Amino acid sequence: MPSTRLQELEELSQELLGILVSEWAVGRLRRSLDARSRMDTKLLETQSSAARFARELTVAEETVARALLEREDQLQRSLRKLQDLEAELERARASRADLEATNRALRRRLEELRAESRSLEENPERDEEAVPSAAYVTQLYYKISRIDWDYEADPAQIKGIHYGPAIAQPITIDGSSHSRCFLSDYLWSLVPTEW
């Protein structure tokens, strides 16, 4: 009998141990499933956040790329404008050099004519052929002053066209209403002084 009782007792303890183990396993399984559910929820939230960040990053990249393209286009326009300005500056420098050379030649010729004029004043008996013609002197004055005179105007009127550096400008002055000094100063002010 003790062995049967012992065996029954052993079976009972096995059953109790099985129940205890199964309840512990179920609790542990529940906790594990709850933890897994929380992890799945967190994973879904993280995936959703990552997708949102990826969309925002794509939009930001597109915005930056557009801004970069606009800046590059603006830079190209600025470079073209700079090249045009440099070319215009070179043309202006070349034109200025040509004008300076022409002005130097005209000054030399004017000095020669002044010297000839002084020589003629000192020696009035010189041959008339040495005196420059009126047409020649008129052409020289035109080259210096760039004024084309209207010789058919009334003697009291001063008329002509000044072909200045930018545009042609008509001259019409009533000589009787202005002093000779004013007229002289005004006409000399039209002659370019940059040599």
Residues 67-95: tens digit of each pLDDT? 999 999 999 999 999 999 999 989 888 88
Helix axes 134-145, 2-122, angle to 10 degrees: 150
Is 185 a residue whose pLDDT tops 90?
no
Same domain, 15 and 66: yes
pTM of the model: 0.35
Q: Is residue 139 part of a domain?
A: yes
Q: If you ran DSSP here, which 8-state letter would residue 90 be given?
A: H
**Residue 183 structural domain:** 134-195
**Signed CA dihedral, 91, 92, 93, 97: sign only:** positive
* 146 and 72 belong to one structural domain: no
Tell me the residue type at 77. Answer: R
In the chain, the number of structural domains is 2
Task: Give the model's confidence band at 25: pLDDT under 50 very low, under 70 low, under 90 confident, else very high.
Answer: low
CATH number for the domain spanning 175: value is 3.30.160.570
Max mean pLDDT range (1-5, 31-35, 89-93, 111-115): 89-93
Asked if 183 and 175 touch (Cβ cutoff 8 Å), the reply is yes
Residue 178 DSSP SS3: coil
**Residue-level pLDDT at 155:** 81
- The answer to whether the CB of 120 falls within 8 A of the CB of 132 is no
First to last CA, the chain: 144
- How much is the pLDDT for 181? 87
The residue ranges of DSSP E strands in the chain, in sequence order, are 147-149, 157-163, 168-174
What is the 8-class DSSP label of residue 133?
P
80 with 2, same domain?
Answer: yes
Question: How many other C-beta atoms lie within 10 A of the C-beta of residue 148?
Answer: 15
Query: For residue 127, what pLDDT band results from cuts at 50, 70 and 90?
Result: low
What integer pLDDT is reported at residue 58 of this predicted model? 92
Say how far apart CA 185 and CA 171 lie, in whole Å: 14
Q: Are residues 53 and 3 in the same domain?
A: yes
